[in-house]
Structure 1
Amino acid sequence: MPQPPPPPGHPQGPQGWSPQPPHPNPPYPPGPQRPTGPYGPPRYTPPTWQPRKKKSGAGAIVGGLLGVMALALVVLFVGAALLKKSGHESSTTPIALPTFTYSPPPHDEPTSPPTTRPTSRPTSRPTSQPTSRPTSGPTSEPVRQVNKSLKANSLYLAGTLPTTRCPAGNANIYNHAQFKALILKTGKCMGNAWGPALDRVGITWQAPGYMIAARKGRGACGDYPSPGSNVPYYCPRNSTIYASTSAMTKEYGSLGNWHGLIISMMAHEYGHHIQNLTGISDQWWSHYLATSSKNTRLALTRRHELQATCFGGMFMRSVAASYPISAAQRNSLLWAYNHLGDPPGGPRDHGSTASNYGWFRQGYMRQKAYQCNTWAVGASSVS
């Protein structure tokens, strides 16, 4: 049965989105305790195929006819599913995107809000008489209020990322020096794209750090890559993206020599950096700590991760002309994200393959920051 339409101005999710931009100055709650640990992307395994058993004689003829009929039904069902663009989870075995893992906050950060009353009372009389005229006039521009909430963050007013020149060249992902240079070069492009967007809405942009090892290393959020993982991750404790070139080629090298997918993974990590700068990660972590429900925590984390995936799609679109990303390579990216997601039996913290595909495509095709507001949609869009 079709679902009733959402209220006016409410986003519908990656399938057929038509959200409205947020109000420019909505209220927002005070900032929470700051999170400090790593996060990264979902996991990939190429699709597997079951071999067909041999048949002979009349059984083979009957089997062939049944096979043709079954194939026709499959085609009809698949066609109908594609036309409906349903958000149901893909049956393919998914890949892995990087994640964000937290460690306790530093001791030098406050664990409670400041008191609301002063510690001492003011004197009854001023120490000097005020001058008859002010020494300076008002500032030429009012201070812009920055909204750091999840659903109405100032970031959503930033619009599209500017078209950014970022030719990737022919770097060999199996050569550590070339691969590292490519990551650092495209990282600067990400700053060139996101910096002006944040500046437009009064959010201070700062570049993240990078630690790129040939094999493995140890950083502020622990080992990289994380034990049992080959994907990069972002550490909010020191605003640094960690990656191993050999681990990433092991994880994604089977998809071919083109490095666009891996750079989109780094763009996902940069998306976590944007979440950190805008207060979205702080608010997510505050909501995470406020509940003891495992399912609620997983749902919050999926929204956090899928938003980073959407931001990654926005960046890849901003450099498509110069990177370059041809129509065929764009389709390859979309195909790959349709195989990215939470593995069967694993934690449901990154979203299904359908959700990862939907949100990457949302960022790539719709482009505007408010189209990546995963916090304002129903649970089915972030499954």
Structure 2
Amino acid sequence: MPPQYYAPPPPPGPQYGWGPLPPQPRKRSGGTALLVVAVLAVVAAGGVFLAVKLTQGGGDGPATAAPVATESATPEPTTAPSSVPPPPPTAAPRPTRTTRTTTKVTPPKPAQTVNPATYNATHRLYKTGVMRTVNCKQAKTGLGNGSQSLAYFKTIKTCLDRAWPKQVAASGGPFRSPGLVVWGGSVNTPCGGGVGRSFYCPTTHTIYMESPSIVSFYKQNPTFGRMVGTFTMAHEYAHAVQWMTGLGVAYTRLRYDASAAGALQLSRRLELQASCLGNVFLGANRNSYGITGYAYQMWLYDVNNSGDRPPYPRDHGSTTNHGAWSRAAFQSRNPASCNTWSASPARVS
């Protein structure tokens, strides 16, 4: 269950989403060597908007009111009048020595406030063990347009909905399948809007997948586009896991009193953990999903080249650190590899 804190949450701020996408790799004609394009492709959506809201899972269970304790007053005994004469007087009894019984009362322990930094650094999620495969398979549809993207992301989400409940429950959090919106152009949410980035909004417990950028990658290199789309979806779903388990709630409490530099470091810890947890899922399903051979090379290129770049703020982590956390999680398939909250500042720079 998410911890309770005394500090109020910060006002609605930026959404928790994916950082700048990596540059598009290109294959040389007839060869397998990759040429890194230095300029990030910018996709103009032309005002096209695709927003398909999928059915959200579960939702909060019905609230059950706790029984209210009631007291029934017992009437004091009364003496009814009687026609029987009173008994004759008797000698007063001798006083007897009474023994005083002392009962030791133990005061209740005061409620302890959970320290959000300690909560995140020692979370039970890290002890839930290796994630088992759910034999997730890639959708046969590609990512050539918005409707195909919707079908593709729905397939991945179905796998994620089967992979994470056990881990979330073992960590003490209630699992709720997040919603999904696939969009292009612009989108407005309680967490703000976004252009060119996918994100997760805790307020609506919904993942907002921006499709035009990924469609562009897919048209240039289908395998790379699939790996970018797959990893982005796993990353955003991991943000939903952070909020289901209380890690995200604790993050907002830590950020409330943080300095500007401190807030950026907290954001990097949150984002690097989301990428790490996303790759726990991908590593657990690497064989059934087909992240082998050339697809593995494209996944590796993606995670090793994703991260903060000028002029973006340093809120997602360096490409070096992003690759390190991602590779470790892919190999271990264990959330224990994703404790960014106890890592040194250098590992989350």
Common fold: TM-score over 0.5? yes
Question: Using the alignment, how far apart are the partners of 1:280 and 1:316 within structure 2?
Answer: 21
Shift in Å at residue 157 of structure 1?
A: 1.6
What's the CA shift string for 1:66-125, capped at 9, x where partnerless? xxxxxxxxxxxxxxxxxxxxxxxxxx96979xxxxxxxxxxxxxxxxxxxxxxxxx99xx
Contact 1:95 1:339 in 2 (8 A): no
The yes-or-no answer on 1:256 pairing with 2:226 is: no
Partner of 2:272: 306
In structure 2, the CA distance between the partners of 1:168 and 1:205, relative to structure 1 (3 Å rule), is: same
Identity fraction in percent: 28
**In the aligned structure 2, how far is the partner of 1:177 from the partner of 1:42?**
24
3-state SS, counterpart of residue 208 of structure 2: strand
How far is 1:203 from its partner?
A: 1.9
- Matching of residues 132-281 of structure 1 within 5 Å: 149-223=119-193, 226-227=194-195, 230-250=196-216, 252-253=217-218, 256-258=221-223, 259-281=226-248
Which runs of no fewer than 5 residues in structure 2 stay unpaired?
Answer: 26-36, 42-68, 75-113
For the 8 Å contact 1:193–1:318, the answer to whether it is kept is: no
Classify the secondary structure of the residue corresponding to 1:218: strand
Question: Does the CA contact (< 8 Å) of 2:20 and 2:308 recur in 1?
Answer: yes
Of 173-182 and 33-42, the range deviating more from structure 2: 33-42
CA contact (8 A) 2:126 2:339 kept: yes
Equivalenced residue count is: 266
Q: Does 1:127 align with 2:76?
A: no
Aligned residue for 1:68? none
SS of 2:133's equivalent in the other structure is coil
Query: For 2:337 and 2:134, how far apart are their aligned partners in 1?
Result: 20
Which residue in the other structure is 1:99 paired with? Answer: none
Indicate the SS of the match to 1:179.
helix
The CA deviation at 1:334 is: 1.5
Alpha-carbon distance in 1 for matches of 2:252, 2:314: 17
Cα gap change, 1:238/1:326 in structure 2, threshold over 3 Å: closer, same or farther?
same
What TM-score comes out, normalization by structure 2 length? 0.68
Displacement after TM superposition at 1:44 (Å): 3.2
Q: Deviations over 1:154-205 (max 9, x none)?
A: 2112112221122113322112222111101111111111011122333211
Listed as ranges, the gaps of 5+ residues in structure 1 are: 1-27, 49-91, 97-121, 130-145
1:93–1:344 contact (8 Å) kept in structure 2: no
Residue in structure 1 matched with residue 63 of structure 2 by the alignment: none
Deviation at 1:372, TM superposition (A): 0.2
Question: Which has the higher mean CA deviation after the structures are superposed, 351-360 or 208-217?
Answer: 208-217
Q: 1:329 aligned to 2:299?
A: no
Q: Deviations over 1:206-238 (max 9, x none)?
A: 000011125443333233xx14xx121000011
Return the offset for 1:29. 6.9
SS in 1 for 2:323: helix
Q: What secondary structure does 1:322 align onto?
A: helix
The aligned residue for residue 284 of structure 2 is: 318
> Quick one: distance in 1 between partners of 2:271 and 2:73?
56
- Deviation per CA, 1:279-331: give whole Å up to 9, x if none: 1111111111112x211111111001000000111111122121121143223
The 8 Å contact of residues 163 and 319 in structure 1, kept in 2 or not, is answered as yes
| CA distance in structure 2 between the partners assigned to 1:304 and 1:154 by the alignment | 16
Distance 2:285 2:262 in 1: 36
Q: Normalising by the residue count of structure 1, what TM-score does the alignment of the two structures yield?
A: 0.63
2:96: which partner in 1? none
Deviation at 1:268, TM superposition (A): 0.5
Aligned-partner Cα distance in 1 for 2:189–2:334: 33
Deviations for 1:115-153, whole angstroms, at most 9, x for unmatched residues? xxxxxxx99xx5368xxxxxxxxxxxxxxxx99811011
1:366 & 1:320 partners in 2: Cα distance?
12
- Picking from 37, 42, 53, the partner of 2:19 is 42
Q: Is the 8 A contact 2:180 2:208 kept in 1?
A: yes
Greater CA radius of gyration, 1 or 2? 2
